[in-house]
């Protein structure tokens, strides 16, 4: 069974799982607005997420951002290259406004990993920027991109959803922030460094409360129920977070929450169809 473990580790390390989580949120936006799933949008976000996350995770390890030090990471690099080609294939199928949003997210990703100027620090190393950049990119890709590509108007309700998505991602990142406190540069001024683990958890709970309160402004009864379940799941993930975590707690279980969210909606829809 060692080969199963190796493939599962590659699935996590090559950012396929987190890409599925981002893709699930894209699909959720399509469902919320009754839009038919657009393959170009879904696939460009999926493959783009893999490339972006692997670039951020491994670029500083690679010699001059290209040469990986061992065969395993070179496998991840080759996989990322294939995903980059597939991303390009789907990127050209998206409308102009959608392309601009993807380029903005890509630029933020590059600035997140690469120094602005030679010898300078990148966005990731700037105080308190780490989580905000990630949440903003997720919200752009999972809310604005599907709607802009469908030529829908960005109404007030859309911007409420955009804010909710930022809040959700910020809350989902709390377990990662707690896990990484022992590795992060003290200059990053992350939440656990500033407020401690307990204080960071309370901040996470507050973010989730605000996320749920904003559901009122969207005025959809079904969202009360589903968002309540999501808040409970993320809240439990934050509650159980510790500095010393199991290997897959964040990288698999926490990142599974958006995937399980969409799966839950599918199951409920199936029950509704069976009742008819």
Instruction: Please compute the mean of the pLDDT values over residues 119-140 and round it to a whole number.
Output: 75
* Whole-angstrom distance, CA of residue 251 vs CA of residue 54: 13
Asked if 53 and 162 sit in the same domain, the reply is no
Task: Mention every residue, 6+ apart, whose C-beta is less than 8 A from residue 270.
Answer: none
Asked if 199 and 137 sit in the same domain, the reply is no
CB 168 within 8 A of CB 230: yes
Say what the pLDDT of residue 66 is. Answer: 60
Say what the pLDDT of residue 218 is. Answer: 67
Assign 126 a pLDDT band (cuts: 50, 70, 90): low
Asked if 130 and 199 sit in the same domain, the reply is no
Say what the pLDDT of residue 120 is. Answer: 53
What is the distance of C-alpha 87 from the center of its chain?
Answer: 17
Asked if 198 and 162 sit in the same domain, the reply is yes
- What percent of the chain stands above pLDDT 70? 86
Asked if 166 and 201 sit in the same domain, the reply is yes
Instruction: Please compute the mean of the pLDDT values over residues 3-25 and round it to a whole number.
Output: 95
Which of 125, 154, 183 marks a domain boundary?
154
* Whole-angstrom distance, CA of residue 186 vs CA of residue 193: 7
Whole-model pTM: value is 0.91
The 10s digit of each residue's pLDDT in 164-208 is 999 999 999 999 999 988 877 676 678 888 899 999 999 999 999
Q: Is the CA virtual torsion 49, 51, 52, 55 positive or negative?
A: positive
Asked if 124 and 49 sit in the same domain, the reply is yes
For 169, list phi and psi in degrees, rounded to 5: -65, -40
Asked if 141 and 182 sit in the same domain, the reply is no
CB 23 within 8 A of CB 70: no
For 98, list phi and psi in degrees, rounded to 5: -65, -40
Report the phi/psi class of residue 242: left, alpha or beta, with left for phi > 0 and alpha for psi in -120 to 50. beta
Domain count along the chain: 2
Strand partners, 63: 67
Supply the range of the domain harboring residue 143: 1-154
The 10s digit of each residue's pLDDT in 151-167 is 999 999 899 999 999 99
Asked if 133 and 170 sit in the same domain, the reply is no
Per the prediction, the chain carries an average pLDDT of: 87
């Amino acid at each position: 069974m060692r080969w199963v473990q190796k493939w599962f580790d590659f699935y996590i390390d090559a950012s396929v799982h987190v890409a599925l989580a981002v893709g699930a949120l894209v699909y959720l936006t399509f469902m919320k607005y009754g839009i038919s799933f657009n393959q170009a949008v879904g696939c460009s976000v999926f493959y783009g997420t893999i490339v972006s996350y692997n670039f951020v995770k491994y670029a500083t390890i690679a010699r001059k951002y290209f040469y990986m030090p061992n065969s395993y990471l070179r496998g991840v690099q080759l996989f990322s290259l294939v995903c980059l080609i597939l991303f390009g294939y789907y990127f050209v199928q998206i409308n102009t406004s959608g392309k601009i949003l993807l380029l903005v997210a890509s630029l933020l990703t590059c600035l997140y990993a690469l120094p602005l100027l030679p010898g300078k620090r990148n966005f990731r190393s700037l105080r308190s920027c780490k989580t905000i950049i990630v949440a903003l990119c997720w919200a752009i890709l999972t809310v604005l991109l599907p709607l802009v590509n469908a030529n829908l108007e960005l109404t007030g309700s859309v911007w409420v959803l955009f804010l909710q998505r930022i809040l959700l991602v910020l809350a989902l990142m709390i377990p990662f922030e707690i896990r990484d406190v022992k590795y992060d540069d003290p200059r990053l001024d992350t939440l656990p460094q500033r407020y401690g683990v307990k204080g960071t958890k309370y901040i996470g709970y507050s973010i989730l409360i605000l996320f749920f309160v904003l559901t009122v402004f969207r005025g959809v009864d079904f969202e009360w129920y589903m968002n309540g379940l999501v808040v409970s799941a993320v809240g439990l993930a934050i509650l159980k977070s510790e500095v010393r975590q199991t290997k897959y707690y964040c990288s698999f279980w926490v990142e599974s929450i958006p995937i399980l969210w969409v799966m839950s909606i599918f199951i409920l829809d199936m029950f509704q169809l069976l009742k008819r």
